[in-house]
Structure 1
Amino acid sequence: MNTIASHLTGWLLTGLLLFALITPTTDTSLARPESYGDQAIPTTSTTDTLFTMNPAIFTSPGTVNTLVPLSDGRMLIGGRFVSISGQPTPRSLAILKSDGTVDTTFQVDSRLTVLDVYEAAVQTDGKIIIAGRFIVSPSILTYFLLRLYPNGLLDETFNTVGIGGPVLAVLIDGSKVVIGGAFYQPTPYVARLNPDGTADSTFNGTGSGPNDTVRDIARQQDGKYIIVGDFTQVNNTPQTGIARLGTNGVLDTGFVRGGSMVSKRVAVLRDNSVVVGREDICGDSSFAWYTPDGVLKRMPLDLDPDPNWLASITALVALPDGGFLIGGWYSAVCINGFPTQHQGEVWRYTADGTFRTMVSFGDNSDILALAVRSDGHVVVGGKGLPVRSSEIGIFDGLALLNPAYNGLERVPAFHPLVGDEATIYSISRYADGKLLIAGNFSHVNGSPHFGLARLLANGTLDPDLHPFANDPGGYSLPTLVLPNGSALTGFRSNQLFLVGTNGNLTNISALNDYRSVTALAIQSDNKVLVGSWGWLRRLNADVSDTDPTFTIGNVNGSVYALAVQGNKIVVAGDFSSYNGVNVPGLVRLNSDGNIDDTFTPPAFQTEYSQIGSLYSITPLPDGDLIVGGYFKTVDGEERPNLVRLNNDGTVDTGFSSPTSFHTVQSTCLAGDGSLWVGGIANTYGRHPFLTHLDRNGQIMPTTFPNTYQAAHYFDGAIHKLLCDANGLTWVSGTFSLIDGKPFYGLARYAPLRSQVFLPQIIR
């Protein structure tokens, strides 16, 4: 920071915060069309310009798979996550400072999309080797091993394109890199690479190498390598689960002759002995300890607890005092071969095998990585999935242990929250502008919220609504705000709740026969339509009971969308019959629930001549309907994924179906009659996609942040759009980046009309 900037810290921080919340699109490079599927979508602006605001941070539990100690107590972490305690880390790789906060000087190359990070290692020059599954833009190839510069930029001099399978283990050996995994090239399952990423031809052994996956690698003091994994042979010699290789890759047949057990983890201790762990659920042989020469060591006879009691050993680390830590999960009781718990724990043993202490991280938690920091503290990485309220917050993917005085005390001040991508399925607006958000998430702005949250009109979290506080892991699909300020929510797979204005819950699942709720809509008389798998029901306005005047609809599939059109009800989904009448996933009903025979919908079919799936219905003021979903033809003519129907159900041939979508999930109507459309792009990665169409389906010349991306490349989608008279206001779905900037499943749009934003001066 320069001298002038240092004197302006107060207002600069405020300005940076404002910049993070408000992302105007002013880059002239947007004049270049971007290709989506077969259609080039122009993004030049001749009318409105929109900007996005990042309202809240929605996350689900993230996973830490690997930890690499750095200097000054810092730690490189990798896994599957998009944020650490609210700090954006959308590419599943970050550096933490000693206090657990993110080191923002490390930024992963924006060209890199990370599906998963399995393992990482740091070379002596500071360059970072990462193993996992990666895509480097603009290519669509999957890379399994890459190297980054210390600042996070991609090192393109490291050529590993020839590695044709997952890399699960990485070991730095001087200037060389030893890798193990489920690959065949450059050599099967284990290889050594030169500094430029090419295969080291001096490491080739005398045979075919391991015959199955190598899961972990450690190095003894004489330079020999210990490999463990799923193999049963090495170089055509019987050797199960563990083997020692010479520096040239030759099998050492004298080390654990014939092997012992298929294994997951290995560590070399200070005395050069070797500890090995594997999974043995409900068994008693998950651990082994060998002398430096490969002779099995015995644990103390009176040892309690014995490390073999662990159902699965998923992490091992040597301690400076000669002892070691074991991470894994434990179940006290197994019934008929099935564990009754899945409790992540770390156990400490001394150099002679004596048990010292242990730390538990709650049921449904996993310990996947252990590392000793430069200050001697131990960082724990993994995943926490609480299923009871008492387990909330025990473990959120990272923890710090103090091993002083032969102990293993947790450091409570170090409690980062590892958050992965969330999905927001539904948004419903209150009369006062608040929003009810439903989806699959566990935290909002770091606060536990399970599947349902309320935002204030300005987009900030309403802390007073926390309806499912005691139901961790819960998720909501559709939600609907009622005129009196209460709401309905389809929760988990078979529940329907009435949510009071203060968050109190009334379980009304019996009114829907405990079926999965997939769609909700309200009529002008405040009666509520409930769509599910297998049927459609209507509730009275006070939702106290079902409406006896409504004919229940029986469908042979799911109802995905409902719309009220005057005194008619439009129902869409993936069904082919409604109350015994053949219909193509779309039917219109009279107000009493009987089929409206004045509406004859067309046939929606996929490219395989199967019935399409319809996810979105938007009634138009003139009585027409906009129907979106996954289909390729309508009445035999190519009209992919979006179509306009006349009031009688016939196709409006004046509407052009865009070819840029694989699936349309949501549409909404702006006050000028234009249409906003969201869903999944017709691209290899099936990216989330948003576009703006005029009345006839042509692309509107509107400038807006429009490049959506899911953090892990696949399975992204835009699920719900909200519009008002001025146009698009809210977008939700499964995404973590918009135009390269971090977002968390929810974005707020607003018109940009020459506003000037000045930072507030803080004295």
Structure 2
Amino acid sequence: MKKLLLLTAGLGLAAAPTPGHRAAAQVALDPTFAPNAVYAPGGVFSIVEQPNGQRVVSGIYGRVNGTAATSLSRFSPTGILDAAFQQNVGAASGAFRVRLLANGQLLLTSSFGALTVGGLTRETLLRVNPDGTADTTFNPGTGPVSGSFTGFVDDFLPLPNGQLIAGGLFDAFNGTPAGGLVRLTATGAVDPTFSAGLGVGQNGDVEAIVALPNGQLLVGGDFDTYNGVACNGLVRVNPNGTLDPTFTAGLSPNSEVTNLVVQPNGSILAAGDLEIAGTVDGRGIVRLLPTGTLDQGFTPPAGLTAGTVAARYVGDAMQLQPDGKIVFLSRSGPGVSGYGRVARLNPNGTLDPTFQAGPGPDSRPRTITLLANGNVLTGGSFTDFNGTYDRSLVELTSAGALNPTFQPVLQINGSVASVVRQPDGKLLAGGNFSEINGQPVRRLARFLASGAPDASFAAGNALAASVVALALQPDGRVLMATTFGVQRLLTTGGADNSFTTFNIFSPTSLVLQPDGRVLVAGNQPLSNGAPLIRLLPDGSPDASFAPATSSGGARLRRVAALALQPDGRVLAAGTVQPGGGQADVATVQRLSATGAVDPSFVGLAFDNITFSPFSAVALQPDGKLLVAGNFGGYGGTPRPNLLRLNPNGALDAGFVPPTITGFVSTVLVQPNSRVLLGGSFTGAGLPANLARLLATGPADASFGPTAVPNGSVRALLVQPNGAIVVGGSFSTLGGLSAQALARITAPNVLAMRAPGAVAARTEVWPVPARTNLTVAPDASARPQALDLLDLLGRTVRHQALTSAAPVTLPVADLPAGTYLLRVSYAEGFVARRIQVQ
């Protein structure tokens, strides 16, 4: 059999020296990659209408109708931004719930801690004058405290005399003991004459407060005692804060009341996660008589079950019309008992068919407000309302139709979560964005090598859900995981109807196998009962891959990140239930190609974890695994937020990165084995948010702080010429404009080629290969590893080398085509295209 010499001419890894090779170069934004203006839909928390018809809105956004605006804005009835009000508000932050006071002022709460309006900062509560300037005369001091933590004010009720009732999760307010309920004077001081005493008890949360005509209060929330007396999430309180014992709500102690409305006849509409006393059914909305007795004549649809109707801590979930009908928000989606997420009930609770909002929004709104003209405003973080895209604040007519004359555009900076490179050098970027350079481009875009958007790729114009992960097939088709599922696109961006869309809520990871099958992971059981499934090339579930689903033994509960070994085994970072009644642990588990647990992988528990401890895993050519996220260590050894495991799952004690504070979102092994990190972090000797480590873990001093992103990095990609593509939620790099996607140049990115003499002594046969490929490395150059990569750069075969003995790689099961064989030596590498037939 004829032997062929393996030459160094080949694919991009063997390209001529580039900026990645210049040791003297510094990390810098690539001036040949054009910056783009990338924006995404903002979010709405709360809405009030002023007597003159203007609408005041709080939320998360950075601009409105193309003008800089943050957190608190006012609109005309046609959606025009009030520029004078916005100028007075200034760089506001933290505004959450907003209420209108009788004198025209506005009162705001923050979502957590301090809020700022008009240059004034206050803790949790802040009062604003009618023109948008801050009222300096109102000061709640240190605000709510729960134990040793900052508490919350979830709802508040302005009183006619200028005082204020505030409720939430706290056991003290401005240093005064108060159990979740307090009365403040017109200047923000605690009123000691209000005797809430112990209030709702430890860990109790007040979420809704309404006034009764006689001065009493209805107080709802998640609590089971008030001033030491057992109750059920809803109490009536006297004007001085003492409990009214004559009122007993017809709810069970398990109920959580999130919204309250009092009807003119004194009856009470309560919404939330409600359990009915004496029954086993739960309801989302009930009506109580003024005494608290359940009104059996109020019969809402059966689909309005407990927890279906709720808007916690933000705006209101239901509003009462003058005719007695009730508009409400629902968690339920289209097709559930005949209503969408915005609907209306008749006075007796039955569904009102004359209100037709259609499917409504693609996610539950946060707030609904009844306008004086009979229309309703609703807002949230939805991106599609009956085919109207990227409007998080909409007005509906009294019949439920969208009002086209009110469509303000609230936006935040866009973000990129995943980037892949096509063979022609174009980049596909997916994430959360709806506009690029003033043009609608929704969630997925293709960019030319120059950085300019590719207008010929139009897939993003129809996507409502954010893109979580991307994978590029060898034929150019695009696999995409969005917050609603997995689908495939044609090379032009059109939907690939030959692929069955796989529905899953919020997938976390997507991996394309060399054989065309697709691994999909999530934080909940999928259609196979496990949080990890494999799809066939047509999108249908692969029954041959069956991870454990029973609680009898170790099984995955949640999976946050995946890596595929060349031998087909799967590494999954997530939460595992060990079985035998043991508590769940955060760890890495290895599965066989059929989904069975691999007992040879030790998989110890991670320490000091958060709810989502893992963000990314990266498999090195030598079989070691980098694990990144938000954790403290592994098996008792401190390793905050980044570590490396040996191929058997044991901690690699030789990899010791700097102490990292924050979280690492993405990790990438460069061709020269140095490690790129992206996220929201700081560390000793590391630039913030984007850094690089040497192969053994120390900070790489050649990757300096000259291109630091001002926000989180979520995606990294090394181009064949050594340039680094960076995606995330930043707006500048190194002080220069770069929104969501940028390209940087840096030294020490690409691996160095071995001398020509080493290549001449490296042999491979046969070429082309059909069943096996044999490689005889050069003994004098200290061979380290063999890797066979497909055209997308994915390792399909890996073999560690400990000697120069010939090694045989099986290739019979690989798809026919062109591959790159790379032989790594201590002095560098040699590479060549290999044809498999």
| TM-score normalized with structure 2 length | 0.56
Q: 2: CA distance between counterparts of 1:154 and 1:435?
A: 50
**Which amino acid is the alignment partner of residue 287 of structure 2?**
A
Q: Do residues 465 (structure 1) and 447 (structure 2) align?
A: no
Residues 395-419 of structure 1, C-alpha deviation per residue, up to 9 Å, x if partnerless? 954322455xxx7764222245667
Work out whether 1:497 is the aligned partner of 2:488: yes
Residue among 206, 209, 220 paired with 1:217: 209
* Separation in 2, partners of 1:437, 1:510: 20
- Which residue is equivalent to 1:731? 727
Shift, 1:536, TM fit: 12
1:101-112 mapped onto 2 (5 Å cutoff): 105=86, 112=93
Residue 258 of structure 1 corresponds to 248
Alignment of 1:528-677 (within 5 A): 560-561=562-563, 574=573, 606=606, 615=616, 617=618, 627=626, 629=628, 657-660=657-660, 664-667=664-667, 676-677=676-677
Residue 190 of structure 2: aligned partner: 199
**Secondary structure of 1:202's aligned partner:** coil
RMSD: 6.5
Among 49, 54, 57, the alignment partner of 1:77 is 57
Helix, strand or coil at the partner of 1:73: coil
1:85: Cα distance to partner?
Answer: 7.0
Matching residue of 1:169: 155
Pair 1:227–1:643, CA change in 2 (3 A): closer
1:720 aligns with 2:716: yes
Q: How does 1:394-405 map to 2 (within 5 A)?
A: 397-402=392-397
Match of 1:10 in 2: none
The answer as to whether partners of 1:119 and 1:168 remain within 8 angstroms in 2 is no
The 2-side partners of 1:239 and 1:196 are apart by 32
Cα distance in 2, alignment partners of residues 220 and 54 from structure 1: 54
Deviations 1:251-270 (A, max 9, x none): 4566xx4344464433456x
Give me the identity figure in percent: 18
**Residue in structure 2 matched with residue 100 of structure 1 by the alignment:** 79
Question: What pairs with 1:422-433 in structure 2 (closer than 5 Å)?
Answer: 424-433=416-425
Tell me if the contact between 1:316 and 1:370 (Cα under 8 Å) persists in the aligned partners.
Answer: yes
**Where in structure 2 are there 5+ consecutive unaligned residues?**
1-23, 117-121, 276-280, 311-316, 522-529, 540-544, 549-554, 576-586, 591-599, 747-837
Correspondence 1:147 to 2:126? yes
Query: Which residue of structure 1 aligns with residue 368 of structure 2?
Result: 370
Q: Trace 1:227-626 onto structure 2 (pairs within 5 A).
A: 227-229=219-221, 243-251=235-243, 257-261=247-251, 263-267=257-261, 273=266, 275-279=268-272, 286-288=285-287, 314=310, 315-317=317-319, 325-329=326-330, 342-347=340-345, 358-360=355-357, 362=359, 366=364, 368-373=366-371, 378-382=376-380, 384=382, 391-393=386-388, 397-402=392-397, 410-416=402-408, 424-439=416-431, 441=432, 443=434, 452-455=444-447, 458-460=451-453, 462=455, 464-466=457-459, 469=462, 473=465, 475-480=467-472, 482=474, 485-489=476-480, 497=488, 499-505=490-496, 507=498, 518=509, 520=511, 560-561=562-563, 574=573, 606=606, 615=616, 617=618
Residues 107, 152 of structure 1: 8 Å contact kept: yes
**C-alpha offsets along residues 535-554 of structure 1, whole Å, 9 cap, x if unaligned?**
99999xxx899xxxxxx999
C-alpha contact (below 8 Å) 1:119/1:131 kept by paired residues: no
Structure 2 CA distance for aligned equivalents of residues 743 and 226 of structure 1: 51
Render the CA deviation track for 1:361-398: whole Å, top value 9, x for unaligned. 52665465333557775423356587xxx944389543
Q: 2:178 aligns with which of 177, 182, 187?
A: 187
Q: What's 1:68 paired with? A: 48
Do the aligned residues in 2 keep the contact of 1:159 with 1:196 (CA within 8 Å)?
no
Show the counterpart of 1:697: 699
- 1:706 is matched by which residue type in structure 2? P
Deviation at 1:428, TM superposition (A): 0.9
Partner deviation per Cα, 1:587-613 (whole Å, 9 max, x = no partner): 9xxxxxxxxxxxx9999985589xx97
Q: Is the 8 A contact 1:656 1:697 kept in 2?
A: no
Is the 2:644–2:652 Cα contact (8 Å) retained in structure 1?
yes
What amino acid maps onto 1:288 in structure 2? R
TM-score (norm 1): 0.60
Tell me the distance in 2 between the aligned counterparts of 1:519 and 1:330.
27
Instruction: Pick closer, same or farther for the CA change 1:367–1:451 going to 2, 3 Å.
Output: closer
Distance in 2 (alpha carbons) for counterparts of 1:573 and 1:298: 51
User: Partners of 2:456 and 2:52 in 1: how far apart?
Assistant: 37
d(CA) in 2 for partners of 1:209 and 1:536?
48
CA distance, structure 1, for counterparts of residue 199 and residue 644 of structure 2:
61
**Could you tell me which amino acid in structure 1 is paired with residue 700 of structure 2?**
Q
Measure the CA separation in 2 of the matches of 1:640 and 1:285: 43
Question: How far did 1:78 drift?
Answer: 3.5
Measured against aligned partners, the alpha-carbon deviations of 1:304-353 in whole angstroms (never above 9, x if no partner) come to: x979996565534456x67664324498999xxx9686542135769xx9
Distance 1:688 1:188 in 2: 41
Alpha carbons of 1:726 and 1:66: their partners in 2 closer, same or farther (altered >3 Å)?
same
What is the SS of the residue equivalent to 1:412?
coil
Q: Return the letter of the residue paired with 1:278.
A: A
Match of 1:32?
none
Q: 1:329 to 1:669 in 2, by over 3 A?
A: closer
Contact in 1 for aligned 2:448/2:454 (Cα 8 Å):
yes
Aligned partners of 1:425, 1:167: CA distance in 2, in Å?
Answer: 33
Q: Which runs of 5+ in 1 are unaligned?
A: 1-44, 138-142, 546-551, 577-583, 588-599, 710-716, 753-763
Q: What secondary structure is seen at the aligned counterpart in 1 of 2:492?
A: coil
Asked whether the equivalents of residues 36 and 739 of structure 2 are also in contact (C-alpha less than 8 Å), the reply is no
Structure 2 letter corresponding to 1:691:
A
1:747 is aligned to 2:741: yes
3-state DSSP class of the match of 1:697?
coil
Deviation at 1:427, TM superposition (A): 0.5
In 1: Cα distance, 2:667 partner to 2:364 partner: 40
1:130 deviates by: 1.0
Change (3 A) 1:160 1:678: same
Say if 1:537 and 1:112 are closer, same or farther in 2 by CA, change over 3 A: closer
8 Å CA contact 1:50, 1:749 repeated in 2: yes
Residue type of the alignment partner of 1:345:
A
| Partner Cα separation in structure 1 for residue 301 and residue 53 of structure 2 | 29
CA distance in 2, matches of 1:360, 1:666: 41
Alpha-carbon distance, 1:201 to partner: 0.7
Change (3 A) 1:83 1:332: closer
For residues 235 and 508 of structure 2, the distance between their equivalents in structure 1, rounded to whole angstroms, comes to 53
Q: Structure 2 matches for 1:678-697, cutoff 5 A?
A: 678-681=678-681, 689-691=689-691, 697=699
